Amino acid sequence: MARSKRALRGIYAAATALAIFVVAVGSCIALILLVISMEEGGASLSDQSLSVTQAVVLLSQGNGFSAGALKLTIIPLGLTLVLVSLLVTCVRRFGMSWEGFASGGLLWLIVSFLFQQIQGFILVDTTFIIACRSALVYCLAYAIAGVRSGKFSKWLASSPYGSLPSGLRLAITQGVHVAVWLIAIFVLMGALTVVVWIALYHDAVGKLFVLSEMGTSSRILTSLAAIVWLPNLIIWALSWLTGGGFYIGELASFTLWTGQGEALPPIPIFGLFPEAVTSSVQRIILLVLPTIVTGIVALLTLLTKRGFDMLASLRKQGLRQIDTRLVTTFLYSCISLVITGLIVLLALGLAFFCSNGDLGEHRLKGVGVHVTESAAVFARDISVGLLAPWLMLLLVSALVLLWNSTIDSLHRSVTLVSAVPASLNSYESSDKSQTRISGTDTSSQPSHTVQTVNKTSHSDAPGQSSGQ
């Protein structure tokens, strides 16, 4: 009975999340199609609302589609984040269990299969691939809900992780926390870059709206609909900021050095893409900005009390000699920074991969970031930013240790040198006393002999006189 209740709660969680998401997306799509039909004055597009909703729901889980010359596989990461957040909230609200996970996942796959029965669109992937991607989204949301629950902390404490040394656990925890902070800062940097693009190139977007002959309501709704791809644009902006850039198929490439494209389709969002940065000083500042930010975060982690508080540890240790405490302090901090770098690179590489896709079959195939190039650029920036403060602190500590060792050696030498005259004086005084004692013994021996002889002569004298 208890298992059936837990299974029903899993079904309720999945059904609630899907219902809220599908209704919200369907309502927005119906409104957009209705406004476009009214302004264009053509045939009503509201009849396509259901099919478009099915396609968008599948697209938000990574499953692309094609319609005529259009092939869309760029995942609207904004919708994906909304779907995952809804499912996490519902799972935490109805409770977590293995029975609920299985029953909710089964319902999720069934709904995904039903949404594949779509009219007017051709799905790019097979049924099995679509099911795998939908299941991956569901498992991701359930895993996030599990991490945010109190059971995860108890399970972690009872796992082999809880038996690790406290310093190593602190290193792992600090590494994860710093990685989350760095990812948040990088996302903020990308968002600010997009805001700057909007401020600089909003006129180009307006011209594209005019060329497309779109009405005011259609412009507003189209701009609002483009928000679902805002996370993709932030990721591309972050790649552009570090020198990696991004590409619109074979038609255009946008980096800090180039910003031109040929025959781009009149899609309003394309008007936001930047031109090349002409100033070499500005280019250098933008290129070193991620390294500087990473270095500041790493330095604060090493020195502040919320991190490793290495200044207090080094003062307590005294830096007089190399001992186990000093070695473990630097070792655990290095392990923490390495963990931070690996998590950040993995997260950014996954983000670059998920933000890419296609807008067509030929020249618009391959829109987004070159994952290997951008990941290599970020690997360089993050590794330098994380290890430079650690190496600098290690060098300073080594210099202080060398200085203290030199001062201690000098003190010992001065003490030894000052102790030599005192030892010589004590040796001379002892030698004189020994000489004095030996002289006294020598002078006393003859007198003793004379007295002995006298006594002998006196004792022999009466005998002689009596014999006479």
Q: Which of 35, 91, 29 is nearest to 60 (CA)?
A: 29
State the DSSP H helix or E strand holding residue 71, giving kind and residue range, or none if neither.
strand 70-72
Tokens of 21: 């998401």
Task: Find the distance separating the first CA and the last CA of the chain, reported in whole Å.
Answer: 149
Place of tokens 């040198």: 417
Q: Which of 403, 414, 416, 413 is nearest to 321 (CA)?
A: 403
Q: Assign 254 to helix, strand or coil.
A: strand
Q: List, edge to edge, every strand of the sheet that includes 252-254.
A: 259-261, 252-254, 246-248, 367-368
Model pLDDT, residue 421: 61
Tokens of 17: 């999340």
Tokens of 165: 């040394």
Alpha carbon of residue 23 to chain centroid: 36
Q: How far apart are CA 34 and CA 432, in angstroms?
A: 121
Model pLDDT, residue 293: 94
Q: Which residues pair with 246 in a beta bridge?
A: 254
Q: Which amino acid is at 188?
A: L
Helix-strand-coil percent breakdown of the chain, rounded to 5? 75, 5, 20
Residues with Cβ within 8 Å of residue 382, at least 6 apart in sequence: 182, 290, 291, 294, 341, 344, 345
Model pLDDT, residue 271: 85
Q: How far apart are CA 25 and CA 227, in angstroms?
A: 13
Helix axes 2-40, 77-94, angle to 10 degrees: 150
Q: Assign 61 to helix, strand or coil.
A: coil
Model pLDDT, residue 275: 87
Q: Assign 368 to helix, strand or coil.
A: strand
Q: Assign 306 to helix, strand or coil.
A: coil
**Below-50 pLDDT ranges, the chain:** 440, 442-468
Asked whether 358 and 74 are in contact (CB, 8 A), the reply is: yes
Place of tokens 């359930």: 142
The angle formed by the CA atoms of residues 56, 59 and 64, to the nearest 5 degrees, is: 120
Q: What per-residue string of b and e applies to 261-300 under the rule 16 or more CB within 10 Å gives b?
A: beebeeebebbbbbeebeeeeeeeebbeebbebbbebbbe
Tens digit of pLDDT for each residue in 242-301? Answer: 888 899 888 888 989 987 666 778 788 888 888 888 888 999 999 999 999 999 999 999
Long-range contacts of 223-229 (CB under 8 A, 24+ apart): 223/268, 225/28, 225/32, 226/268, 226/269, 227/78, 228/76, 228/77, 228/78, 228/79, 229/74, 229/76, 229/77, 229/78, 229/269
Asked whether 288 and 296 are in contact (CB, 8 A), the reply is: no
Tokens of 364: 């618009």
Model pLDDT, residue 422: 55
pTM: 0.83
